[in-house]
Amino acid sequence: MYSETPLRRRALITVGWIFLGLLGLFDVFADGVPNGRWVSLLPMVSGPLACMALLSPARRPSVQVRAVLVAGGSLVLTTVIAMSAGPETVGTVGVLESVALLVLLSRTVWVVPRPRTAVAVSAALAVAVIAIPLRLLPGDIQYDGDSAIDGSVLMTLAVGLALAWGLRARMLEEQRARDIAAVRQRQRLELAHDLHDFVAHHVTGIIVQANAALTLRHTAPEQVGPLLENITRSGSEALDSMRRLVRVLREDDHAGPLPGEVWSELARLVSVFSADEADVQLHVAAAAREVRLAPEVETSVHRVVQEALTNVRRHAHGAAVAVRVDVDGARLRVEVHNTAPAARHAVPVGGRGGFGLVGLRERVEAVEGTLTAVPTDDGGWRVTADFPVLAAVAGSPA
């Protein structure tokens, strides 16, 4: 249940800045500087500007707008340098600018949503990159024409690699979006199965109470009123369940706890998990046992604990686990915390490449709950969910 640490992310960003800085120094000390002409200084300005457009954290202007501006500026600069260079002065290529354009090309292919826009902007960037070696052409085209042509060939290969990398990232992102949609659909199907069971449970209770009211209307009419109130309450709860889950379809292979058995099911889950010699503790506060929960909330509580324990088994073997259930105000709070594992493993479900938490959050939000999953200071992980509780029935212990 672990993701990339902020320290590792900062280290990668630092290495990237150092690499770009070295490319900038290469441009400064390249052989174009001693020529003493202003055209040799232009790539030293265009390179940092291209990096600013690439690395700017702002969302505006968008990636495609920045890419078009950079591509247009690079083509204009190439034209100016090629036309201004004399027979004895060769323009400077600008390695930093070239790398920035290639990275921006991959990013454009990856993140620009509309395919036609992505193709048009990518084509402009590709032309700009391939044209950069033409800056080596002096006034006399026979002077260094071979270097310019060879450079354009190399740039064409680099453009092909950048396009392939961007397309790969785009395909992976689209596949991930499809996987997330499939997980959400599967959760909706499971909720639909629960809906069938919940409605059957409520309707059965309503029928039983209605028959009792019919029996008692002559012998004990004073008891009919409370029965009718309970019938009204049960009908309202059934309608609430259907409103939350009305858009889902039924799946036949789902099994969850029966209404009223959520605490015994949690104990069973923890017992099975402890059988693997894991250090796990379960604490259900007395206040939590006394509250009334909608049946779909009970199954969601069960699923949160089940998913969290499954993630611990997969990604934090050997960690100590604590499961706590308590009442916080008018909400039921469920928390599963694990310490750091004995050895680091893969990234968490719901993180890169996993979708467990995605589907779990979909399920919790469907019953008007909230779900958070965050790393802890001790190197572990904490999954927290809170759910609504029902009002107490008159005459009940709650």
Measuring CA to CA, which residue among 384, 373, 322 is closest to residue 347?
Answer: 373
- Here the CATH number for the domain that contains residue 295 is 3.30.565.10
- The DSSP-derived string for 126-168 is HHHHHHGGGGG--SSTTSSHHHHHHHHHHHHHHHHHHHHHHHH
C-alpha span between 111 and 106 (Å, rounded):
9
Report pLDDT for 37: 57
First-to-last alpha carbon distance for the chain, in angstroms, is 37
Report pLDDT for 364: 86
What 3-state class would DSSP assign to 248?
Answer: coil
Structural domain includes residue 357: yes
Structural domain includes residue 121: yes
Same domain, 22 and 79: yes
pLDDT (mean) for 63-76:
87
Same domain, 139 and 10: yes
Same domain, 27 and 110: yes
The encoded tokens of residue 61 equal 């202007």
Residue 292 CA from chain centroid, whole number: 33
The domain boundary residue, chosen from 113, 143, 173: 143
Structural domain includes residue 20: yes
What 3-state class would DSSP assign to 397?
Answer: coil
Same domain, 25 and 61: yes
Same domain, 31 and 112: yes
Structural domain includes residue 168: no
The domain boundary residue, chosen from 122, 143, 164: 143
Structural domain includes residue 41: yes
Report pLDDT for 353: 40
Report pLDDT for 350: 37
Same domain, 43 and 74: yes
C-alpha span between 232 and 239 (Å, rounded):
11
| Model pLDDT for residues 185-243, shown as the tens digit of each residue | 776 666 666 666 767 777 777 888 788 888 887 788 888 888 787 787 777 777 666 66
Report pLDDT for 315: 79
Structural domain includes residue 295: yes
Structural domain includes residue 103: yes
Measuring CA to CA, which residue among 395, 370, 386, 27 is closest to residue 227?
Answer: 395
| Model pLDDT for residues 119-134, shown as the tens digit of each residue | 999 999 999 988 888 7
Same domain, 236 and 287: no
Report pLDDT for 345: 52
More confident residue, 112 or 10: 112
User: CB neighbours of 184 closer than 8 A, spacing ≥ 6?
Assistant: 358, 359, 362
| Strand arrangement, sheet containing 280-284 | 280-284, 321-328, 331-338, 381-388, 370-375
Same domain, 121 and 231: no
Same domain, 364 and 312: yes
Check: pTM over 0.75? Answer yes or no. no
pLDDT at 52 over 90: no
Looking at the 3D structure of the chain, how many domains does it have? 3
Query: What is the residue range of 134's domain?
Result: 6-143
| Model pLDDT for residues 78-120, shown as the tens digit of each residue | 888 777 765 554 556 778 888 888 989 998 998 888 888 889 9
Same domain, 361 and 267: yes
Structural domain includes residue 1: no
| Model pLDDT for residues 297-327, shown as the tens digit of each residue | 888 898 899 888 888 887 777 788 999 999 9
pLDDT at 395 over 50: no
| Model pLDDT for residues 265-300, shown as the tens digit of each residue | 898 888 888 776 567 889 999 999 888 888 778 888
User: CB neighbours of 224 closer than 8 A, spacing ≥ 6?
Assistant: 213, 216, 217
C-alpha distances out from residue 62 to 125, 127, 335, 388, Å? 15, 20, 40, 41
More confident residue, 225 or 248: 225
| Model pLDDT for residues 328-365, shown as the tens digit of each residue | 888 999 999 998 876 665 444 334 444 567 778 877 88
C-alpha span between 64 and 61 (Å, rounded):
8
User: CB of 270 within 8 A of CB of 327?
Assistant: no
| Model pLDDT for residues 135-169, shown as the tens digit of each residue | 776 544 444 455 667 778 888 999 999 999 999 98
Strands 321-328 and 370-375: unpaired
User: CB neighbours of 40 closer than 8 A, spacing ≥ 6?
Assistant: 32, 33, 89, 91, 92
Q: Alpha helices, DSSP H only, in the chain?
A: 6-28, 42-55, 63-84, 95-111, 115-131, 145-219, 224-245, 262-274, 286-290, 295-315, 356-366
Confidence of residue 392 (pLDDT cuts 50, 70, 90): low
- The DSSP-derived string for 290-334 is HSB--HHHHHHHHHHHHHHHHHHHHH-TT--EEEEEEEETTEEEE
Same domain, 104 and 48: yes
| Model pLDDT for residues 367-390, shown as the tens digit of each residue | 889 999 988 888 888 999 999 988
Same domain, 22 and 78: yes
